[in-house]
Amino acid sequence: MKRFKGLRLACLVLGLGFLYLPILSVIVYSFNESRLVTVWSGWSTKWYGALLENQQLLSAAWLSVKIGALTATLAVVLGTLAAYSLVRFKYLRGQAQFELSTAAPLVMPEIIIGLASLLLFVSMEKLFGWPAGRGQTTIVIAHTVFAMAYVTVVVRSRLAHVDSSIEEAALDLGARPVTVFFTVTLPTIAPAIIAGWLLAFTLSVDDLVVASFTSGPGSTTLPMVVYSSVRLGVSPEINALATVMITLVSVFVLIAGLVLARSRDK
């Protein structure tokens, strides 16, 4: 194996470079003094200052975080219920159809989900007067549709590995089904639920297509702001924003990883 050592190192460097060089260049250029994104003219943190003063970006970021958190919470509740019924109620009528319908958003093109949601919201508004216009609520609903599918997959695989006799043991010891769910089932699938929440949050914050279809005036999410401003030429502020987001996400992922690792050790 020794003679391939050089080759293996080269592969490693190439692979990591392919993945992380673009991100690294964004971080480096966020400290660029120049207004032109591609020309380096010295170190500066002024774009971070400008970022803090850009009300449009900040409010879009806040909206995205709110939508992400709402979506993730809703998706976790619905996805966990779906996963639970798929794994535990084996003789449910229409089981196969239900399974298919929960998994469908995974393979459905985002643009279709976006368009379909828009059509639904518009016709619902005509019929019942709700939702009145489009905005945060409609984006959350549309995001939940596809985020829930991912949560279902994650929770379901965990639940399938949980021995159902521990739930029976709890029943036998005098716990009612609802108590069993909260004291036994939920704690044992908690790591999957946390992972599902993070996944749903990321998917929602990241989404541009579905949000574009289902947003209304005054509800512009962060990806939408970034996308529209980039069309007019990349501003260094966007680089600074990207760096902040990368840092936040890294910290987030690190914390989640530590939490999961500790729960496994216990």
Partner 1 sequence: METPLIEVRGLRKNFDDVTALSNIDLSIKEGEFFSLLGSSGCGKSTLLRILAGFEQPTEGRVFIQGKDVTELPPYERPLNMMFQSYALFPHLSVFNNVAYGLKRDRIAKAEINERVEEICQLMQISKLMNRKPHQLSGGQRQRVALARALVKRAKILLLDEPLGALDKKLREDMQFELVNLQEMLKMTFVVVTHDQEEAMTMSSRVALLNDGLIEQVDTPRRLYEYPATRYAASFVGLSNLFEARVVSHDDDLVTLWCDALDAELSVRHAQPLVPDMVVTVLVRPEKVSITAPDAQADNSVVGVIENIAYLGDVSIYYCNLPNGQSVKFTQANVQPAAELPLDWGQKVRLGWRAENCNVLVA
Interaction site with partner 1 (CB under 8 A): 163, 165-166, 168-176, 179, 183-184, 187-188, 190, 266
> Is-contact 192 158, C-beta < 8 A?
yes
What DSSP character marks residue 13?
H
CA 42 to CA 139: how far, in whole Å? 41
C-beta neighbour count of 208 within 10 angstroms: 14
- In the complex, what is the shortest distance from the CB of residue 175 to partner 1, in angstroms, rounded to a whole number? 5
Smaller CB distance to partner 1: residue 178 or 232? 178
Place of tokens 């809703």: 74
- In the complex, what is the shortest distance from the CB of residue 196 to partner 1, in angstroms, rounded to a whole number? 18
In sign, the C-alpha dihedral spanning 122, 128, 129, 130 is negative
Q: Which two tokens stand for residue 178?
A: 């609802």
Smaller CB distance to partner 1: residue 187 or 257? 187
CA 150 to CA 110: how far, in whole Å? 14
Beta bridge partners of 43: 32
Place of tokens 């990591």: 16
Smaller CB distance to partner 1: residue 140 or 180? 180
Smaller CB distance to partner 1: residue 53 or 163? 163
- In the complex, what is the shortest distance from the CB of residue 166 to partner 1, in angstroms, rounded to a whole number? 5
- In the complex, what is the shortest distance from the CB of residue 109 to partner 1, in angstroms, rounded to a whole number? 40
Beta-carbon contacts of residue 81 (< 8 Å; ≥ 6 apart)? none
Smaller CB distance to partner 1: residue 154 or 189? 189
Beta-carbon contacts of residue 74 (< 8 Å; ≥ 6 apart)? 140, 144, 148
- In the complex, what is the shortest distance from the CB of residue 261 to partner 1, in angstroms, rounded to a whole number? 15
- In the complex, what is the shortest distance from the CB of residue 30 to partner 1, in angstroms, rounded to a whole number? 43
Smaller CB distance to partner 1: residue 106 or 186? 186
Helical ranges in 89-207 per DSSP H: 95-107, 110-128, 136-160, 165-172, 177-180, 186-206
- In the complex, what is the shortest distance from the CB of residue 257 to partner 1, in angstroms, rounded to a whole number? 19
**Phi, psi (rounded to 5 degrees) for 56:** -60, -45
Smaller CB distance to partner 1: residue 157 or 179? 179
